[in-house]
Chains A and B, each alone.
Chain A
Amino acid sequence: MHEGCGGCGGIVMADSVRDRVIAIIAEQAVLDVADVKPEMSLEDLGIDSLGLVESIFAIEEAFDISVPYNANEPGKSDFDISSVDAIVRAVEALVAAKAA
């Protein structure tokens, strides 16, 4: 499938986790990276539930991690999706755990 990989294809590996996650979210929201602010929620960004699972797929592909997220129980997941900053920190933690 073209979509998920397309989200990370143009991103330089030297970029920080934060930059890469924001780039993925920005692409999903069809926004410029500069317009994605840390405090914004997915709702603010216009990303619906289908867009969220697509973003999570792109994140998993980009970092080769497995994100613990079940769309049936979005609130109960260990993966905090309440804001862009929360998502970035959750991905940073997963990337760190993988490296450890």
Chain B
Amino acid sequence: MKRVVITGAGTVNALADTVAGTFAAFREGRCGIAEIDVRDKERLGIRIGGQVRGWNESAHFNRQQIALYDRFTQFTLHAAREAIRQSGIDFSDALGLASGVVLGTAGGGVTTWDENYRAVYEEGKNRVHPFVVPRLMNNAAASHVSMEWNLRGPSFTVATACASSNHAMGLAFQMVRSGAATAMVTGGSESMLCFGGIKAWEGLRVMSRTACRPFSANRDGMVQGEGAAVFVFEDYDHARARGAPMLAEVVGFAMTSDAGDIVMPSAQGAERAITGALRDGRLNADDVGYINAHGTGTAANDKTECAAVAHAFGHHADRLMISSTKSMHGHLIGGTGAVELLACLMALTEGVIAPTIGYEEPDPECALDVVPNTAREARVDAVLSNAFAFGGLNAVIALRRI
């Protein structure tokens, strides 16, 4: 079995369009959630979100690229550029044959669906642009990354709702660990902040109209975000031989299914994923200093997640820190695990724990150290990142300081 290290990271999200900018926002406990600006917003009941503001597509891509890139693909390519630049990895020769890209997204090109349904249904048009299909397909982002960087090995897209990115990164980790690939570009992206994308979530009646306040007794729901984060996962020996930057080691991954309910989470399913990731990573419970929570800010998730963590860690649950950065960047749905892995990297590389902002009232059912409102300096050696999706699909990743 190979050791797997992260040699590059990149992002764009509501807080910043770089990793450094995102870390700065995490440190400050800055909120990226605000009133959204989308077409027909006056017909929306939910009008806040973690929107990427001032995104200027023509600053990043040429005309032909823009014709083919949905917003979720644009976010992905932007994040991948930063990650691959930092990694310094060059896939142009044989390495490209042994490397691939696995990305998560729940909705793919939702904006493209939305705009073109509007054209044919609302505006009565009988003709759509020829690139509608290649723009909206869920694997568009992964395919464009493969083309841009000559990644000719295992490449595909994972859709497991809110756990998509964690599943994608877990699979990328397994491929490098097993030797099936030398390096994998991985992470995820989502861009669902358009009229139809928000309206669909409104229907479920789990959205907050005010703020995302995970673990706080007065929490009243989730807030959508958008963006992407992309990483380079690489064989340790390969990274070492070329003198690559090593941000952290990926040591464990586990996925479980609740086989229970299509929307309600299960503490047992979550706990099995947590303990599975520890076992896979050969970590003891008390090795873990920080957990990036799924922490959606819904009544159901947060108490279920705290129960799962309490069961999985026993007494150590009271000593570890757990925070939800969704309070700052919103819930990126299929891209969320990728952006949240950044908080894990910040904990390991900079010794700063990102806070759960918007925290106002303790909830006895969430009685863990949720790092309320203010970032904290702490040296941690191992961390987990949780993702628990609608449909009962759970995926937990374990990282270690290198």
Which residues of A does B touch, CB under 8 Å?
1-4, 30, 50-51, 53-54, 56-57, 60-61
Contacts and interface: CB of A to CB of B under 8 A. Distances in A.
Contacts of A1: 115-116, 119, 128-129, 131-132
Interface residues of B, number: 13
B63 interface: yes
B130 A53 contact: yes
Contacts of A57: 127, 129-130
B187 to A, nearest CB: 27
A38 to B, nearest CB: 24
Contacts of A50: 130-131
Contacts of B44: none
Where chain B touches its partner, the secondary structure class is: helix
26 contacts: A1-B115, A1-B119, A1-B128, A1-B129, A1-B131, A1-B132, A2-B66, A3-B63, A3-B66, A3-B67, A3-B129, A3-B131, A30-B63, A30-B64, A50-B131, A51-B64, A53-B130, A54-B67, A54-B129, A54-B130, A54-B131, A56-B130, A57-B127, A57-B130, A60-B127, A61-B127
Given A3-B66, A53-B130, A54-B129, 17 more contacts: A1-B116, A1-B131, A1-B132, A3-B63, A3-B67, A30-B63, A50-B130, A50-B131, A51-B64, A54-B67, A54-B130, A54-B131, A56-B130, A57-B129, A57-B130, A60-B127, A61-B127
A2 B111 CA distance: 13
Nearest to A61: B127
A57 B127 CA distance: 8
Contacts of A4: 129
A61 B119 CA distance: 13
A56 B128 CA distance: 11
Cβ-closest 6 pairs across A and B = A1-B129, A53-B130, A3-B67, A57-B130, A4-B129, A54-B130
